[in-house]
Structure 1
Amino acid sequence: MVNTSDEWIQSRTGIKERRLVKKGEATSDMAANIANQLLKKSGKPPEDIDVIIIATCTPDMLVVATAALVQEKIGAENAWGFDLSGACTGFIYALEIGSKLVESNQYKNVMVIGV
């Protein structure tokens, strides 16, 4: 993709690994996979999720939030959600918002995914 060496990239950016998505794989597919892993690890059913926050600069589409697509794909029928685009710091913003939602005592289970 880029005419350079691993040493050049690592010494200037610190990046050691680069991953590419499979052809036809959308951001919501990756996020749903992550969400299902989180649900399995936590032992919670998808119905227990209150809010889904997706931090991404590569949404599936501009009009429908990737969070809504993830909600449908994992069966989190009681959740609402939104996307947050904050470039490299987007996940930190999403994590802060998610923690504030839990601290408000209005929501118990907030899922934050950076993808």
Structure 2
Amino acid sequence: MIDIIDIRSRVYAGAMILSFTRSDPWWNVIDPDALDLDSISDCILGQLYETFGGGLKALDMDLSEAHDSGFYVPLFAVNKDLDQLDEEYKALTKEWRTLITQLREADTAEVSLAF
């Protein structure tokens, strides 16, 4: 069973890292419909840095840090089978999509309040 609190915490940690390291509103660069955390090119880092590995390099991050930041699920995680890994990737993807939607809505709300 997926621990949604853990998933959400990891995604928020990753979002904070992106917000501190990028000068752009990264959530507007991501295509949420194409987002797939189990893809090296359609994951968060892949969409922002061309590939998952490119994102790791740009952020000076190792796989353990990528896991803790909601970007990665270790293939050979202790006590997890392939179905559980797939379930975790789907949960991460869903949580990233939710956060991106919230950030975009917050941007729109700020702009409308400014007028």
TM-score (norm: length of structure 2): 0.27
Where is the strand percentage greater, Structure 1 or Structure 2?
1
- Mark the structure with the bigger radius of gyration: 1
Where is the helix percentage greater, Structure 1 or Structure 2?
2
